[in-house]
Amino acid sequence: MEKTTLFDKIWDAHVVKSVPAGPDVFFIDKHFIHEVTSPVAFLNLEKRGIGVKYPHRTIATPDHNVPTVDQDQTIKDKLSRMQVEKLRHNCAKYGIELHDLGSAHHGIVHVIGPELGVTQPGMTIVCGDSHTSTHGAFGAIAFGIGTSEVEMVLATQCIMQSKPKKMRISVEGELGNGVTSKDIILYIISKISAAGATGYFVEYAGSAIRSLSMEARMTICNMSIEMGARGGLIAPDETTFEFLKGKQYAPKGEEWDQAVAHWKTLKTDEGAVFDKELTFDASDIEPMITYGTNPGMGIKVKDSIPTTEGMEGSNKKSYLKSLDYMGFQPGEPIKGKQVDYVFVGSCTNGRIEDIRAVAQFVKGRKKADNITAWIVPGSREVEKLAHEEGLVKILEEAGFELRQPGCSACLAMNDDKIPSGKYAVSTSNRNFEGRQGPGARTMLASPLTVAAVAVTGRITDPREVFDN
Partner 1 sequence: MAYDKFTILTSTAVPLPTENVDTDQIIPARFLKATEREGFGDNLFRDWRYDVEGNPKKDFVLNDPTYTGKILVAGKNFGSGSSREHAVWALYDYGFRCVVSSFFADIFKNNCLNIGVLPVTVSPEFADKLLSAIEENPNTQIEVNLPKQKITLLSTGDSESFDINDYKKANMQNGFDDIDYLLNMSLEIDAFVETR
- Residue positions in the annotated binding site? 347, 407, 410
For the chain, how many residues are written? 468
User: Does position 74 bind partner 1 by CB under 8 A?
Assistant: no
As annotated, the binding site for [4Fe-4S] cluster includes 347, 407, 410
Of 60, 98, 159, 452, which one interacts with partner 1 (CB under 8 A)? Answer: 159
Shortest Cβ 53–partner 1 spacing (Å): 8
User: Does position 130 bind partner 1 by CB under 8 A?
Assistant: yes
| DSSP bridge partners of 83 | none
Shortest Cβ 188–partner 1 spacing (Å): 16
Report the candidate in 321, 325, 347 with the shortest Cα–Cα distance to residue 430: 347
Backbone angles phi, psi at 4, to 5 degrees: -125, 165
- Between 65 and 446, name the residue whose CB sits nearer to partner 1: 65
| 333 secondary structure, DSSP code | B
User: Does position 318 bind partner 1 by CB under 8 A?
Assistant: yes
Of 3, 12, 23, 331, which one interacts with partner 1 (CB under 8 A)? Answer: 23
User: Does position 276 bind partner 1 by CB under 8 A?
Assistant: no
Alpha-carbon span 380 to 462, nearest angstrom: 28
Query: Residues 38 to 67: which contact partner 1 by CB under 8 A?
Result: 39-40, 43-44, 47-48, 50, 53-54, 64-65
Task: Return the range that interacts with partner 1 (CB under 8 A); candidates 113-121, 190-198, 214-222, 391-399.
Answer: 190-198
Shortest Cβ 19–partner 1 spacing (Å): 5
Helix, coil or strand: residue 325: helix
Shortest Cβ 435–partner 1 spacing (Å): 5
Alpha-carbon span 56 to 54, nearest angstrom: 6
Of 110, 430, 441, 463, which one interacts with partner 1 (CB under 8 A)? Answer: 430
User: Does position 21 bind partner 1 by CB under 8 A?
Assistant: yes
Of 8, 55, 117, 155, which one interacts with partner 1 (CB under 8 A)? Answer: 155
| 3-6 LR contacts (CB < 8 Å, sep 24+) | 3/269, 3/270, 3/271, 3/272, 3/273, 4/268, 4/269, 4/272, 5/166, 5/168, 5/203, 5/268, 5/269, 5/272, 5/274, 6/139, 6/203, 6/233, 6/235, 6/266, 6/267, 6/268
DSSP letters along 240-296, please? HHHHHTT-TTS--HHHHHHHHHHHTT-SPPTTPPPSEEEEEEGGG---EEE-SSSTT
Residues 6 or more apart whose CB falls under 8 angstroms from that of 321 comprise none
Are β-strands 200-205 and 231-233 bridged in parallel, bridged antiparallel, or unpaired? parallel
User: Does position 432 bind partner 1 by CB under 8 A?
Assistant: yes
Residues 6 or more apart whose CB falls under 8 angstroms from that of 214 comprise 114, 137, 138, 239, 240, 243
Of 107, 136, 228, 298, which one interacts with partner 1 (CB under 8 A)? Answer: 228
Backbone angles phi, psi at 290, to 5 degrees: -95, 155
Of 27, 94, 241, 249, which one interacts with partner 1 (CB under 8 A)? Answer: 27
Shortest Cβ 285–partner 1 spacing (Å): 24
User: Does position 146 bind partner 1 by CB under 8 A?
Assistant: yes
Shortest Cβ 279–partner 1 spacing (Å): 24
Contact indicator for 274, 166 with CB cutoff of 8 Å: yes
User: Does position 265 bind partner 1 by CB under 8 A?
Assistant: no
Query: Residues 78 to 97: which contact partner 1 by CB under 8 A?
Result: 79-80, 82-83, 86
Work out the number of other CB atoms within 10 angstroms of the CB of residue 300. Answer: 19
Of 144, 232, 345, 462, which one interacts with partner 1 (CB under 8 A)? Answer: 144
Of 248, 307, 338, 420, which one interacts with partner 1 (CB under 8 A)? Answer: 420
Contact indicator for 351, 378 with CB cutoff of 8 Å: yes
- Between 34 and 99, name the residue whose CB sits nearer to partner 1: 34
Q: Binding residues for partner 1, how many (CB under 8 A)? A: 75
Task: Return the range that interacts with partner 1 (CB under 8 A); candidates 13-21, 183-191, 207-215, 338-346.
Answer: 13-21
Angle at CA of residue 357, ends 361 and 125, nearest 5°: 160
User: Does position 321 bind partner 1 by CB under 8 A?
Assistant: yes
Task: Return the range that interacts with partner 1 (CB under 8 A); candidates 261-269, 299-307, 380-388, 435-443.
Answer: 435-443
- Between 35 and 215, name the residue whose CB sits nearer to partner 1: 35
Of 190, 224, 294, 379, which one interacts with partner 1 (CB under 8 A)? Answer: 294
Of 315, 329, 338, 370, which one interacts with partner 1 (CB under 8 A)? Answer: 315
